[in-house]
Amino acid sequence: METELLTRFRQYLLLEQSLSSNTVQAYTDDVLKLLSFLDDQGVEVCDTTLDHLHSFAATLYDLGVSPRSQGRIISGIRSFFRFLVTDGYIQSDPSEMLESPKTGMYLPEVLTVGEIDRIIASIDRSLPDGQRNRAILETLYSCGLRVSELCNLKLSEMFFEDGFVKVTGKGSKQRLVPVSDRALNEIRLYMTDRCHIEIKPGFQDFLFVSYRTGKPLSRVMVFDIVKKHTRLAGVTKKVSPHTFRHSFATHLLEGGANLRAIQSMLGHEKIATTEIYTHIDRSRLREEILAHHPRNSHDD
């Protein structure tokens, strides 16, 4: 019966749930783990209770399976029992109340101000795209922009005299973001070079354009610029355009900025999204305490 169930389960995932073949294989492997556990317990699949599933989850924990992997396995188990209910093998789903483990909060990589300066300084101004790339990285950091927001910046929405830029974020929501004098200076220098670019019709209002195509920069192009100069600067952290945004927010918080002000700058709809930066700040504070508190001295 188990072979038949697994065959039908795979068909259910492929045809009715439209999952990828990789996901189907992963879920099938997860169910096999459960079936092996139930067999050891002398329990039939259709007689499985929530207590049995809790015991299975506890076994995963005891085996040292990471919380993230536990969550994926439990997701596969839930899909399996939904299938059993849908196809009439069982009347009620014992996995409905089965909770996934908490995976913990992800703390993004943060660059120091010195590392950011090194990355920007690695750009050769004498190259055709050198000044543009300096302006890109300085703007990413100065304004805390998402990469899509940077690619869509418009000249008509740059207010140089007032030191602001109008940014269009998620859901087409617009916000005014202050721009540092340093970023404005890099952009002004780039504007001199930009005059020599043959920009394609319809794209004249985009701030950052490709020297080669005359069209706006893509996300991939900005990622490549960041990766290239991170490598040239000798920074070994895993850095993406979003790292500049994370660093911007963290440095603001460390400098005493109000969380609501940071929320407004980043364009977060919910304050809870911004609060991740308080966790970053607390973790750094803890490191400082552990490093300098007399109770943690290694001297006898």
Indicate whether 126 and 66 sit together in one domain: no
Q: Catalytic: which of 82, 227, 242, 284?
A: 242
Secondary structure of 155-193 in HEC code, one letter for each residue: HHHEECCCCEEEEECHHHCEEEEECCHHHHHHHHHHHHH
Q: What are the DSSP E strand ranges found in the chain?
A: 158-159, 164-168, 174-178
Residue reference for tokens 């795979």: 10
In a domain, 140, yes or no: yes
The whole-number pLDDT of residue 97 equals 83
| Annotation marks residue 298 as catalytic | no
Q: If you average pLDDT over residues 24-38, what whole number do you get?
A: 88
Considering 170, 212, 215, 286, which one is annotated as catalytic?
170
Rounded average pLDDT over 105-113: 73
In a domain, 198, yes or no: yes
Q: Are residues 12 and 125 in the same domain?
A: no
| Shared-domain flag, residues 225 and 266 | yes
Q: Give the domain-ending residue among 46, 68, 86.
A: 86
Q: Which of 10, 146, 246, 251 is catalytic?
A: 146
pLDDT of 87: 87
Confirm whether 125 is a catalytic residue. Answer: no
pTM of the entire predicted model: 0.58
Domain boundary among 67, 86, 105: 86
Highest mean predicted confidence (pLDDT) among 17-26, 27-36, 58-67, 288-297: 27-36
Which residue among the candidates 229, 245, 246, 251 is catalytic per the annotation? 245
Give the pLDDT band (50/70/90) at residue 279: low
Q: Does 72 qualify as catalytic in the annotation?
A: no
Averaged pLDDT for residues 202-208: 95
pLDDT on residue 300: 47
189 shares a domain with 283: yes
Q: Can 245 be counted among the known catalytic residues? A: yes
CATH number at residue 8: 1.10.150.130
User: Can you tell me whether residue 201 is helix, strand or coil?
Assistant: coil
Range of the domain at 51: 2-86
Q: What is the pLDDT of residues 245-269, one digit of tens each?
A: 888 888 887 777 776 777 777 777 6
